[in-house]
Amino acid sequence: MNESRNSRDTERLGYLQTLYSEAEAAELANGIESLIAQYASKVAMSAEPTRLTESDVALITYGDTLNESNTPPLRVLHRFHREYLAGIFDLVHILPFHPYSSDDGFSVIDYKVIRADLGDWDDIENLSEDCRIMADAVINHLSSQSRWFKEYLAGNPEFADFFIDCDPDTDLSAVVRPRISPLLTCYNDASGRDRHIWTTFSADQVDLNFRNPSVLLAVIDVLFFLISKGASLLRLDAVTFLWKEPGTACANLAGTHALIKVMRSAVSALRDDVVAITETNVPHRENVAYFGNGYDEAHMVYNFALPPLIAHSLIQGDGRHLSQWAKGLTLPSNEVCFFNFSASHDGVGVRPVEEILNADELQQLVDATLAAKGRVSSRTTTDGKRRPYELNCTFLDLIARAGEPESVTVSRFVAAQAIVLAMPGVPAIYIQSLLGTRNDFDLVEETGRARSINRSRHDYSTIESKLDDKDGLAGKIFTALTQLIRVRRKHPAFNPYAKFQVLDLGDSVFALSRGGKSDGRRVCSIVNLAGQNVEVRIAAELAGIDLLTNKPTPAGKHTLPPYAVRWLSS
């Protein structure tokens, strides 16, 4: 065992000792080592850690977003990647693909099984040969229909204390809630005893009890299994709530951070190029804490403040909040970065900007959602009040304006994605954004769930026709976004770890300098956020060739058309 491995094992034991007794920590450390040895023969160790590069752009999709009769959807996705996305998206985030009982996959019944209606593990492994796969590790909770929970209720000692049975008289008023549903759900065990189970998200999603060391070992086994099946990025879902301490907020506790550090250490010991990414939809200052010291926790953190700030900027034509926030972005090392996006399978969360936007500005986002006939999901605060938690709307419709020409809608939407693509870190585009999908009211009515508004399923032949129609909405958006991505992939200034600086070119403009001499040439990204012409003055050090048009942009005064995007290479 080399010195680096020894150091990593010692650190892991130290983290475990902050969570468990000395004896439990030692036993668990040995259990993790045994798992590493068990999976080593199934996982080819990379020769050296693989850093993310400017060519890494992620597509976020459900396994069954695209469908074709008599073909498993995962194979349809692979075909879509080969025919339309090769050389554009080198990362594909497939949302939970396991059997589930609710929440569109996020109530997992069996972590080691692929849904029969999607395909099989061969489909995942085959796709992983063409691109890197990000898999969801839904580890805060699992389905009440899962074998683990059924064995728990049956009294199987192997699963004793796998879940949290809490006295309903316990004062849990301080617990931070992402939902308005009850925190405890009553289940009857095999003996007829009432079990009041902790359910952060819904009655069907039973929280795992990480105070039991066996739970952590079982979860690490799940992570290793996903890696063995082709996943090289692991999205650790809803980890905000992993560690519970009644009497506290039960969110972002020190125990949670220690758990993430153990998981990162374990997966890195199995394979050095696996990327751990935390999904923590919380205020920005709490979110970035998951980077740890830059070497010991998440490799990437979802940049949750970015979507509502982009939406606010484009709705108001004012980028002051976006620019001020971006100026404050810092990273604890050059080995971590942000995961940037504007839209995902969930709605646009507003908690991350509660300390950035004031009440009136938050209400403006709510009003824009309602104007687009979207939905607004709420959460219950510790004082019993209900506040907006999530805007359920496609990002396209959120920032669109009724009655405007389609060309304006497209330009504004492309400007939004250009900001995502220029930000420091790895950009991600949700498949519904890539396809120009509008609010799916029929699906909301069918499911009764607000989030369904942005989770449309598409017939593959219909999508082919739409993308081939270059004059249609989907064709225009797809062509524009893929052009931006192709340009981005070629320039080292867009490396996820490259330097960045927010520039002041006026309130209606978001300007960002990426790269420098050490990163190759610099690129200045300029986006007009307003629906009218805006004059900007380009300094001599920023002047250069616009990568998007190959036209020179000399120093001096320039007029930017509404929602114009310029990527100037100097």
Contact by Cβ (8 Å): 509, 415: no
Integer-rounded Cα radius of gyration of the chain: 24
Angle formed at CA 111 by CA 390 and CA 263, multiple of 5 degrees:
75
**Residues 6 or more apart whose Cβ sits within 8 Å of residue 156:** none
Contact by Cβ (8 Å): 8, 235: no
Angle formed at CA 255 by CA 384 and CA 138, multiple of 5 degrees:
75
Burial label for 69, CB within 10 Å (0-12, 13-18, 19+), is: exposed
d(CA 569, CA 300): 27
Beta bridge partners of 348: 391
| Identity at 146, one-letter amino acid code | S
| Identity at 503, one-letter amino acid code | L
The region, left, alpha or beta by phi > 0 then psi within -120 to 50, assigned to residue 403 is left
Contact by Cβ (8 Å): 427, 58: yes
H or E segment and range at residue 75: helix 73-80
d(CA 15, CA 265): 10
Tokens matching residue 516: 């420098």
Burial label for 130, CB within 10 Å (0-12, 13-18, 19+), is: middle
Beta bridge partners of 426: 339
237 is catalytic: yes
Torsion of CA 336, 342, 343, 347, to 10 degrees: 100
Angle formed at CA 338 by CA 377 and CA 420, multiple of 5 degrees:
70
| Identity at 556, one-letter amino acid code | G
Kindly state the greatest CA–CA separation across the chain: 80
**Residues 6 or more apart whose Cβ sits within 8 Å of residue 548:** 483, 484, 487, 565, 566, 567
Task: State whether residue 288 is helix, strand or coil.
Answer: helix
d(CA 324, CA 512): 12
CA proximity to 34, closest of 259, 236, 266 = 266
Phi, psi for residue 377 in degrees, rounded to 5: -90, 150
Residue with tokens 């693509």: 421
Annotated catalytic residue: which of 123, 136, 204, 237? 237
Report the catalytic residues: 237
